[in-house]
């Protein structure tokens, strides 16, 4: 059995030994069955697609407030929790810069994320592990860390209720959006599907569709949603996705891609599968589809294959849910068997979805001061599967996704930075003005 001693990132204020020892029914107004059925929480009901048959509960808004922008609402609520002192440090004081070079990697100095942690034995040789109620999980989170519930509406409109009772409907388990108390960036939140079901960290069709709806509802390409499997630097074995707002294109989003021509599958769904080109981590990109569920189902099938095949992976949901990056990786395995250089290990950077996307979260000032493209490429090269292994895994992935690849003939270079990341809308301008001190300056960006 491969094991590696890890330091778990603290995602909630209740993630420490003292809280772990408390019994159910603690009266802390938590997200467990002891407290939540009798609670009232804000509710955001996202619009249902006309052909969407997913079931997330029946939402019938009453005494509805005027619907705000979802992203504005999320950021306002997140800022409110900051004013209330619920975060472990002020992420807006963290320095950020664009690393000069071909890719334009983003570096952040986040020394606070390295503090107030506890040692754990984290098993990295099994992507699927059973849920363990004795360890920290999100039912132990206090409701003050929750921004709102996130459920599907019963119509084709989005709705928001500032206060709504949590239904006592049998077997109802709410989806919640909560703050990450050790944030990487402004607006860093956790999406916890069906929190009372105590699902382990494993993607299924419903949870991935919910995560894509989160990116879609934000309606801003600078708000991304990410997922880390066990073995790919997820730190808590309770199903969750992460998301945050950063008004800079990620290097992976600008990387050229090569479309994978297929003999079957695409005609029915309209989903396009592509392969990343000239990027340090080998991966696949899925986009298109006749509906949100089309691309979600294809990606979910591939994730389920990777999980059952015990292959760690990361998922990045980009471009308002229109593009999904699937990134199998092997860094933790290499680390466990001593194949990662001491130079990289000393930085204590665990390359999860954000780092693979090109946002390097550095914990030591010397690493931030000396950050270079060569360092980022060395780190990500250790993450990536070898070319031979990737081609083998890719063939199985496409089969799992019900796509049969032919020869790759068509090369499509992603020009997203020219057409997707336009800042002409008033929402972006307002946030750029009010949060300029929390973002990377465009003056130093290297876009190639």
pLDDT one-digit tens code per residue, 240-268 = 999 999 999 999 999 999 999 776 655 57
In the three-class reduction of DSSP (H, G, I as helix; E, B as strand; rest coil), residue 360 is classed as strand
Out of 188, 240, 346, 359, the active site residue is 240
pLDDT for the residue numbered 266: 56
Mean pLDDT (whole number) for 289-314: 95
| Residues whose CB falls within 8 Å of the CB of residue 308, separated by 6 or more in sequence, listed in order | 128
pLDDT confidence of 195, banded at 50, 70, 90?
A: very high
Higher pLDDT: 91 or 427? It is 91
Backbone angles phi, psi at 350, to 5 degrees: -100, 110
Measured CA to CA, the distance from residue 235 to residue 345 in angstroms comes to 18
What residues are paired with 3 via a beta bridge?
123
The size of the chain, in residues, is 448
Is residue 151 a contact partner of residue 164, using CB atoms and an 8 Å limit? Answer: no
- In the predicted model, is pLDDT for residue 5 greater than 80? no
Phi, psi of 38 (to 5 degrees): -100, 15
What domains lie within the chain, and their CATH numbers?
A: 3-415 (3.30.428.70)
Above 90 in pLDDT, residue 270? no
| Contact yes or no for 354/337 (Cβ under 8 A) | no
Residue 278 is predicted with a pLDDT of 96
The dihedral region occupied by 40, where left means phi > 0, alpha psi between -120 and 50, and beta the remainder, is: beta
pLDDT of amino acid 155: 82
pLDDT higher than 80, residue 423: no
**Residue 294 CB: number of other CB atoms within 10 A?**
17
What is d(CA 286, CA 273) in angstroms, rounded to the nearest whole number?
5
Q: List the single range of 240-254, 263-277, 369-383, 427-441 with lowest mean pLDDT.
A: 427-441
Residue 404: φ, ψ to 5°: -110, 110
CA distance 20 to 24: 10
| 213 included as an active-site residue | no
Q: By C-alpha distance, which of 247, 226, 213, 199 is closest to 96?
A: 247
In 283-403, which ranges are E strands?
Answer: 284-288, 313-318, 323-328, 359-362
SS3 98: strand
pLDDT (0 to 100) of residue 292: 94
Sheet holding 359-362, edge to edge: 96-98, 106-109, 359-362
Q: How many CB atoms lie within 10 A of CB 433?
A: 8
Choose among 194, 190, 82, 207: nearest CA to 146: 190
Q: Please give the Cα distance from 193 to 150 (Å, whole number).
A: 9
CB-based contacts of 358, cutoff 8 Å, min separation 6: 103, 104, 105, 106, 250, 251, 252, 376
Per-residue pLDDT band for 157 (boundaries 50, 70, 90) equals confident
């Amino acid at each position: 059995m491969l094991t590696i001693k890890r330091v778990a990132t603290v995602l909630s204020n209740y993630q420490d030994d003292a809280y772990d020892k408390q019994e159910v029914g603690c009266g802390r107004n938590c997200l467990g069955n002891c407290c939540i059925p009798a609670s009232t929480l804000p509710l955001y009901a996202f619009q249902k697609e006309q052909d969407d048959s997913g079931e997330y509960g029946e939402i019938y808004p009453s005494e509805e407030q005027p619907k705000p922008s979802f992203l504005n609402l999320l950021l306002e609520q997140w800022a409110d929790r900051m004013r209330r002192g619920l975060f472990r440090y002020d992420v807006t004081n963290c320095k950020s810069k664009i690393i000069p070079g071909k890719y334009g990697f983003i570096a952040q100095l986040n020394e606070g994320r390295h503090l107030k942690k506890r040692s754990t034995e984290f098993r990295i040789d099994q992507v699927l592990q059973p849920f363990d109620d004795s360890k920290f999980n999100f039912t132990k989170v206090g409701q003050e860390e929750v921004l709102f519930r996130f459920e599907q509406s019963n119509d084709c409109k989005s709705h928001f209720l500032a206060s709504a009772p949590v239904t006592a409907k049998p077997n109802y388990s709410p989806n919640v959006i909560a703050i990450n108390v050790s944030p990487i960036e402004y607006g860093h939140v956790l999406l916890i599907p069906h929190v009372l079901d105590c699902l382990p960290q494993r993607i299924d069709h419903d949870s991935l569709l919910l995560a894509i709806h989160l990116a879609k509802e934000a309606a801003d390409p600078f708000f991304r949603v990410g997922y880390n499997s066990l073995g790919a630097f997820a730190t808590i074995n309770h199903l969750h996705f992460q998301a945050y707002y950063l008004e800079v294109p990620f290097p992976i989003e600008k990387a050229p891609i090569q479309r994978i021509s297929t003999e079957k599958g695409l005609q029915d769904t309209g989903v396009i599968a592509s392969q990343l080109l000239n990027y340090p981590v080998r991966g696949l990109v899925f986009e298109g589809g006749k509906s949100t569920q089309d691309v979600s189902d294809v990606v979910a099938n591939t994730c389920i294959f990777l999980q059952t095949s015990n292959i760690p992976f990361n998922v990045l949901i980009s471009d308002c849910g229109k593009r999904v990056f699937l990134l199998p990786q092997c860094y933790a395995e290499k680390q466990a068997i001593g194949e990662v250089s001491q130079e990289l290990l000393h930085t204590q950077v665990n390359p999860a979805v954000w780092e693979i996307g090109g946002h390097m979260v550095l914990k030591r000032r010397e690493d931030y001061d000396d950050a270079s493209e060569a360092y980022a490429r060395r780190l990500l090269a250790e993450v990536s599967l070898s070319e031979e292994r990737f081609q083998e895994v890719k063939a199985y992935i496409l089969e799992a996704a019900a796509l049969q690849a032919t020869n790759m003939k068509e090369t499509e270079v992603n020009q997203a930075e020219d057409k997707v990341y336009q800042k002409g809308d008033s929402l972006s301008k307002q946030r750029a003005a009010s949060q300029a001190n929390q973002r990377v300056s465009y003056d130093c960006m290297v876009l190639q």
